[in-house]
């Protein structure tokens, strides 16, 4: 990450106009892969760039100010990702907020502490927003294995996939699946992994908890 660009983002004043907002979003979006839960956090701001939106008026909303402030804080405090190590076990946290899918790949650092290696944050399409929550979280798992397939394939130690949706633990052994789920199960069958339950408050891929990554 270019530290000069990070300083530019950190020093960026709160936008008062659409062009100023677009400038900020353009720069921050370039570094989104360094920020956990990026699509969730930025959603109130990106919503102001659509057609027929009173951008100037809406920018005064507290939700937009909060989103801008949180992005500012994360760009200056989010943990810098480790280099991926093929020799180490992999752990993934996934979450769906109903707005976006989030995933974090973690491995241990030199002190044995879990540390982020990479982030995924994808805004849900209108069709995906209508999916049930467990299907959205399955979608996050699928996106994770497709994005990081070279890191997650062929592991001797199962990849630990952490989700706050407890029923997903039984997904791969379920005998009753919808067509979409059956397709997903087929895609996942080539990987060595296990889905484990974690409460939302301990899941760093949950937008409400992502701040714990740098505490």
Domain ranges of the chain: 3-77, 91-214
Is this model's pTM higher than 0.85 or not? yes
The Cα-based distances of 94 to 97, 103, 164 in angstroms read: 10, 4, 8
Per-residue model confidence as pLDDT tens digits over 121-168: 999 999 999 998 889 999 999 999 999 999 999 999 999 999 988 888
The alpha-helical segments, DSSP class H, found in the chain are 3-10, 18-30, 38-46, 55-58, 62-77, 126-129, 133-147, 149-152, 179-188
So what CATH class is 3-77? alpha beta
Sign of CA dihedral 205, 145, 163, 43: positive
pLDDT at residue 214 is higher than 60 = no
Per-residue model confidence as pLDDT tens digits over 88-102: 999 999 999 889 999
Closest to 168 measured CA to CA, from 140, 206, 144, 187: 140
pLDDT at residue 213 is higher than 70 = no
Per-residue model confidence as pLDDT tens digits over 61-87: 999 999 999 888 888 777 788 999 999
Please state the rounded mean pLDDT for residues 40-62: 89
Could you tell me the fold of the domain covering 91-214? Nucleotidyltransferase; domain 5 (3.30.420)
Per-residue model confidence as pLDDT tens digits over 3-38: 777 778 888 899 999 999 999 999 888 888 888 899
pLDDT at 22: 93
pLDDT at residue 175 is higher than 80 = no
């Amino acid at each position: 990450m270019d530290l000069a660009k990070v300083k530019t983002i950190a020093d960026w004043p709160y936008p008062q106009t659409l062009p100023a907002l677009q400038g900020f979003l353009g720069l921050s979006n370039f570094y989104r892969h360094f920020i956990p839960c990026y699509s969730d956090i930025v959603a109130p701001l990106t919503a102001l760039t659509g057609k027929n939106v009173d951008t100037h008026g809406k920018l005064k909303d507290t939700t937009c100010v909060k989103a801008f402030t949180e992005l500012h804080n994360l760009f200056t405090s989010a943990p810098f990702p480790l280099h991926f190590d093929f020799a180490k076990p992999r752990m993934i946290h996934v979450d769906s907020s109903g707005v976006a899918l989030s995933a974090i790949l973690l491995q241990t650092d030199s002190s044995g502490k879990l540390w982020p290696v990479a982030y995924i944050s994808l805004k849900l399409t209108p069709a995906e927003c209508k999916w049930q929550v467990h299907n959205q979280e399955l979608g996050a798992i699928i996106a994770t294995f497709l994005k990081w397939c070279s890191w997650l394939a062929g592991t001797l130690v199962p990849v630990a996939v952490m989700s706050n949706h407890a029923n997903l633990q039984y997904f791969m052994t379920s005998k009753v699946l919808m067509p979409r789920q059956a397709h997903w199960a087929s895609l996942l069958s080539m990987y060595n992994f296990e889905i484990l339950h974690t409460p939302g408050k301990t899941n760093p891929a949950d937008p409400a908890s992502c701040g714990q990554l740098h505490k």
